[in-house]
Structure 1
């Protein structure tokens, strides 16, 4: 897979992320986008990341700019560091995808790059960098301010008495999660730390991983379990009933707890937020999948009303804060990049403030349930061609979805999202940065949503491999 921009930065096979290619993209970024004279550099824990980060730093210094090496650090912590410094940033990460792949995420001094920025970077590729005196290299700790962001906002007693399992695996936030839980007076139990990179996709956890949770709850007498993906821009939260809480449910609960009024979220997110009399949201904007599209919608909302209490979140749980929100013991400054800690912490704090377990808070929400999974190894071109056929051919679509019944609505905002007469929803979409075909489903029961995903991934596998 030749490296290219997808829904979340540049991604490609490690063997194709060569030193010349990395230099070319970083140089293009610095020539095409604002940078504030310095660039913060972070990385995840996959084996290839230190070398690629070194190439990124070399390219920054060759351009005559100051390189700030933040080491192994969560993506949102790096973004917070660069935003506070008025500098650009480059994160070396492949997020949740396997270790044979990696990538780059670019940040201008105001936050994530936009799709327009991506186009400018692509146009600047191949240009020779102007001669410049080599820039300086310093180091910085981006972790401390990120931890303080949440300890200051939620206070030292927010999780008092709560036993929290921390599934560490190879997440770059594995120690930070322990630090934050303990700082909030929770009891943090470190679980399954790995020296080998594990591509945990919090949006599509594999069955073997889920089977481990029950054992961990019993062995450690856990009340909840938290984790993140590899670069810590996606949360994972398992409630006291040992259920993995979908990211778009975490997003809705977090938004409500912060007093948000304007919600920007992809078309794939749970429709419970549309229910009357449940959430006090004034505006809901649906976007294509990917943080650049969510950010663009948030920026539109803020342009229309600079005081808008706007947030964004994705079905994977990554949460973006667009206004200065009041938390129990302090303010949370805006951070318009996907974050894992806020949507892990806010629902726990909200449940404890209400004097109930997390499961009770969640069970009071409208009964709309989502599920998601993927088929790996399916070329993006193959996925796109299949979706185009179903989109254009109503008969082919009806035949493929015959088991679920007649459709009542069709949405092609991003992929193919079909709503059926019985209220069920199936959404098919190629991944934007990996050879994967994703399936999302929504229904009135958890079992039905899961069954829909299993059914249609099975059909996709049989159809595309035939």
Structure 2
């Protein structure tokens, strides 16, 4: 049972999920719901999936698992994760999303939703403890399931109807990089209803792992080329399950996810912002909201949002450096009234980016520049053994002298933050952050500096140091 919970849901290689591990966790989830009176047998559990080749089989196995516990699996097909969560919460029911999000097609995962939203770390611990009991059990296939795909998608589109004030997005040419995202159809409909001319580009029947936090050079070249060739005012996309946005401005530059989150918070007048330590250090200085910093992962952001709600904050916004935005309160904007959605959503930051820029009479690039955030960058070392990345961070975090020696070629270490991974502020103000990924064998590297070139140089130098420390263990 090599699959395990990461920063957001169960993750692992396809073979480590289809061997019965995914279904064992689905059955454990159903048992956990009943034992804690969160849902009762006989009630529905909605099941959605992304476009990975393995997702239909994992969905089939999970449907059989929840039926074995007396629940009624409902097939929602390929839909965005936030759409599935919204639909299930509106029905007071639980849900399972079969997705590996942005990671490669040889991996997959399962996201779990209680009737009130995403599971938390306590739920993960309980599910993990129950799952081994169900491993190796043969289950009959679930009976033919009722489909609610169209209802899920229609409700999600309706959520954002009338959200953009005034003339909406009329007059804008917006590219939509569809690739294999579960959000492509919803985004096309929502943007078109808002008045934009949507140019659909790059649809793929083969799964393409688009990571909105560490955008590949290939994706940057592809999207920038479309912006120029199609004379676009901007281009949008989302990751595999549609909960992380990708926004490219009219110059072809990719906008950072934490900048999108800040735009949402300012545009909606948030009085509380919850975001991980990996988000830009300038967030606090560039919005009027009180800011909570957390570890990376939606469960930690949601826990911070709950803390803000307990203090009676009237408009609580959460976001991560990948751009996914969560809402804790009812939000009214123009003609729309958005129910709380405490799970990552790619649509809200996309709409707010264009709406805020239009309201300010600016292009996307000019509006982001006006935020005056410190320059930040991020990248990753792929195929980096998780255990090794964790050991390196522990070693550097636990010994100040070792840490100082490791970063000596970059500068003098001034401050260390161990909230999540190792975040080092050098005495000259530059920041470098090492964090082992919770979803894949990768080392994430973040930086802030006086210029983009400097931030990228810090990342390149740090990645070289990490690889050097790993020796020949890096493939």
| TM-score bracket for the superposition, by shorter chain length | over 0.9
- Answering whether residue 287 of structure 2 is matched by residue 279 of structure 1, we say yes
Select the residue among 435, 439, 452 that pairs with 1:429: 435
> What is the match of residue 236 of structure 1?
246
RMSD of equivalent CA atoms: 1.8
Structure 1 portions without partners, runs of 5+: none
Aligned pairs for 1:311-350 (under 5 A) are 311-350=317-356
Q: Alpha-carbon deviation of 1:19?
A: 4.9
Counting only pairs closer than 5 Å after superposition, residues 176-215 of structure 1 correspond to structure 2 as 176-215=186-225
Listed as ranges, the gaps of 5+ residues in structure 2 are: none
Displacement, 1:329? 2.3
Structure 1 window deviating more from structure 2 (233-242 vs 93-102): it is: 233-242
Deviation at 1:198, TM superposition (A): 0.7
CA contact (8 A) 1:62 1:135 kept: no
Aligned to 2:22: 22
- CA–CA separation in structure 2 for the residues paired with 1:383 and 1:220: 42
Q: Secondary structure at the match of 1:17?
A: helix
1:405 and 1:459 map into 2 onto residues whose CA distance is: 13
Verify: 1:139 aligned to 2:143, yes or no. no
Instruction: Tell which deviates more after alignment, 339-348 or 55-64.
Output: 55-64
Instruction: Report the 3-state secondary structure (helix = DSSP H, G, I; strand = E; otherwise coil) of the residue aligned with 1:120.
Output: helix
Asked if residue 74 in structure 1 is aligned to residue 84 in structure 2, the reply is no
Q: Report the alpha carbon displacement of residue 408 of structure 1 after superposing the two structures with TM.
A: 1.8
Cα drift, residue 370 of structure 1: 1.4
Contact 1:61-1:137 within 8 A present in 2 as well: no
Which residue in 1 is equivalent to 2:299? 292
- Give 1:328 shift: 2.4
Which of residues 362, 371, 374 in structure 2 aligns to 1:368?
374
Please tell me whether the aligned partners of residues 177 and 223 of structure 2 are also in contact (alpha carbons under 8 angstroms). Answer: no
Calculate the TM-score normalised by the size of structure 1.
0.95
Output aligned runs, 1:294-309, within 5 Å: 294-305=301-312, 307-309=313-315
Report the counterpart of residue 181 of structure 2 in structure 1.
Answer: 171
Indicate the residue corresponding to 1:439 in structure 2: 445
Do 2:224 and 2:253's aligned partners in 1 also have CA atoms closer than 8 Å? no
1:35 aligns with 2:39: yes
Are 1:257 and 2:267 matched, yes or no? yes
Alpha-carbon separation, structure 2, partners of 1:193 and 1:177:
13
Residues 100-179 of structure 1 correspond to what in structure 2 (within 5 A)?
A: 100-127=106-133, 137-140=145-148, 141=150, 142-154=152-164, 157-179=167-189
Q: CA deviation at 1:15?
A: 1.0
Contact kept, 8 Å, 1:38 with 1:68, in 2: the verdict is: yes
| 1:125 positional shift | 1.8
Residue 227 of structure 2 corresponds to which residue in structure 1?
217
**TM-score calculated relative to the size of structure 2:** 0.93
Aligned length: 460
User: Are residue 246 (structure 1) and residue 256 (structure 2) matched?
Assistant: yes
Tell me, in whole angstroms, the C-alpha distance in 2 between the residues paired with 1:279 and 1:255.
Answer: 7
49-58 or 29-38: which moved more?
Answer: 29-38
